[in-house]
Each structure stands twice: as structure tokens, then as C-alpha cells.
Amino acid sequence: MRIILHIWRQRNAAEKGRMVRYEVPTVSEHMSFLEMLDVLNEDLIAKGEDPVAFDHDCREGICGMCGCMVNGMAHGPLPGTTLCQLHMRHFKDGDELYLEPWRARAFPVVKDLVVDRTAFDRLIAAGGFISVATGSAPDGNAIPVPKENAERSMDAAACIGCGACVAMCPNASASLFMGAKIAHLGLLPQGRPESEQRVEAMVAQARAELFGSCTNIGECEAVCPKEIKLSVIALMNREFLRAKWAGRAGLVDD
């Protein structure tokens, strides 16, 4: 089938970008979206033109590297799906698709559809870890964990850090990403000792990175390829308020 693409082309962060029209006349319905872009790039290289830059790695929906806006939707029209898992059978012959990079102040464009998401790395470095010495892997039943907490923690840990939540949020908020990290660590016993320090540090770093604030619009949950729920944001807010009140109580005691 034939697919018409309008792709954002931008040589680097300093230059202005623009939409460029391409036609891919030999698209198979069995191709993934990224394989379709590979076909386009092979054709561009054969013509001596600059191929379209886009992020990818595992192409199995695990690494979180891929992602762009497809007709205004992060990762495209299929819910619970990364861009690399999206297949061309979900489109029709002659469809026109508009491809743009993530749009957020904290995610500056590197080239074409590639953005710099190292702000997420700095958020994790600020507090998205536990520093307790855990030693080797303990026996599965050595530390009692309520079943509900274990399941909620595992659900939150599914976040792959792709950035779709930020790109789709009108405020460019990183709250779903942060909430997932705080939930999957804070719901388990190993993460509780540093829970207050963690949430305060990550919220402060998010402000420094110029991520916006959450206003409960819900676009982040709607486009998350791992279907992380808004409830992790509520948990993060509770942790943040608890940390602030604990700090205030400490000042009063002093």
C-alpha cells in the first residue's frame, strides 16, 4: 500500500524545522511502523538524501527509546502500544500521517524526530533509586509484602521512560513518570527508609528541568504504552505532603 508521510525535519536544535512530504509506495501491512521508516530511509539514502533520524533500540516495546507524535497522538492511534509495536495493518492505503517529535521544553530536539530525554536520567539520579545495601537476591518470602502492594509496585515498575506522558500533557508534566518511579520503590519495604528524601528530591529536580505541573487532565494515562494509572500521581502527591509535614514537624521539635 501507499502511505504519505509529513515528517518534521530539523537539522539540529539551533536551526528551524519544517514539515517535509514523502511518499512510501511499497508498504506492507506486515511491517512495523519503524520498519516502514527504514524503507523510507533506504530510499532517501539511495537518492543521496539525508535519512530521517528517529530513536530506536530493542523494537520490542521494552527499552522506551522509540516514540514520536503520529497525527497528534504519542506513539500513534493504538492504545497500550509503543511506536515500534505499531504495525501498518492499522492504516489504510493512501493514508496521510504527520510525524513530529515529542514537544516539551525539557525535551529539546536533537535532530528530526529525536529529542534529548536526559532530563529523565537526572530525575532518576535525583532520587529514583534505593541506596540500602541489599546484598544478594533474598528468598522470595524472606520479606513479607502485602499482595496488593507487590502488584501495585510491579504495575508501576512497568514504566519504560519513553516520555509519551510528557509529550501528550498540555503542561509537559513528568508527574506520571515520577509517580511510577516513586510508587514502585515506595510501596516495597526496601524503599520506605528514603521515601521522604526521594520524593522531595525528584519534585525539586522536575522543577529545575522545567517540567510543568499536573492538572489531572489524564492525557498521560491515555497514551502510556504500559498503561500506567493516574493513581501513581496521587500516591506521589501524598508522599510529598507527608514529607513536607514531617520536615515541618522536625523544625518545630528543634
Element containing residue 8 per DSSP (H, E) = strand 3-9
Q: Are residues 79 and 185 in the same domain?
A: no
CA 193 to CA 195: how far, in whole Å? Answer: 6
How far CA 68 is from CA of 46, 151, 177, 189, 190, in Å, comes to 25, 30, 17, 37, 35
Contact 67, 120 (CB under 8 A): no
CATH number, domain of 25, equals: 3.10.20.30
pLDDT exceeds cutoff 80 at 141: no
**Given 53, 78, 110, which residue is the final one in a domain?**
110
Domain end marker among 81, 110, 139? 110
Measured CA distances, 38 to 72, 223, 250 (Å): 21, 24, 58
- For the segment 207-236, what is each residue's pLDDT rounded down to a tens digit? 999 999 999 999 999 999 999 999 999 999
How many domains in the chain?
2
pLDDT-based confidence at residue 248 (cuts at 50, 70, 90): low
Whose cell is 514520536? That residue is: 68
pLDDT at 173 (0 to 100): 97
Whether residue 76 sits in one domain with residue 185: no
Of 110, 140, 168, which marks where a domain is finished?
110
H helix or E strand, kind and range, residue 110: strand 109-111
User: Quick one: pLDDT at residue 249?
Assistant: 53
Of residues 131 and 174, which shows the higher confidence score? Answer: 174
Tell me the one-letter amino acid at 179.
G
Whether 226 contacts 165, CB under 8 Å: no
- My answer on whether 102 and 133 are in the same domain is no
146 lies in the same domain as 165: yes
Same domain, 101 and 25: yes
Give the count of alpha carbons within 13 A of 103, CB side only: 13
* Stretch (H or E) spanning 195: helix 195-208
Percent of the chain with pLDDT over 90: 86
Residue 41: burial class (beta carbons within 10 Å; 0-12, 13-18, 19+): middle
Q: For residues 22-30, give the mean pLDDT.
A: 96
Angle 106-107-109 from CA coordinates, rounded to 5°? 135
**137 CB neighbour count, 10 Å cutoff:** 7
Amino acid, single-letter form, for residue 233: I
Structure confidence by residue, pLDDT tens digits, 161-213: 999 999 999 999 999 999 999 999 999 988 999 999 999 999 999 999 999 99
Structural domain that includes position 221: 118-246
Cell matching residue 128: 529514583
CA distance 128 to 14: 31
Residues 84 and 105 in one domain: yes
> Are both 14 and 83 inside the same structural domain?
yes
Q: Is residue 99 predicted with pLDDT exceeding 90?
A: yes
Same domain, yes or no, for 8 and 90?
yes
- CATH code of the domain in which 140 resides: 1.10.1060.10
Percent with pLDDT over 70 in the chain: 96
Neighbouring C-alpha atoms within 13 Å toward the C-beta of 65: 11
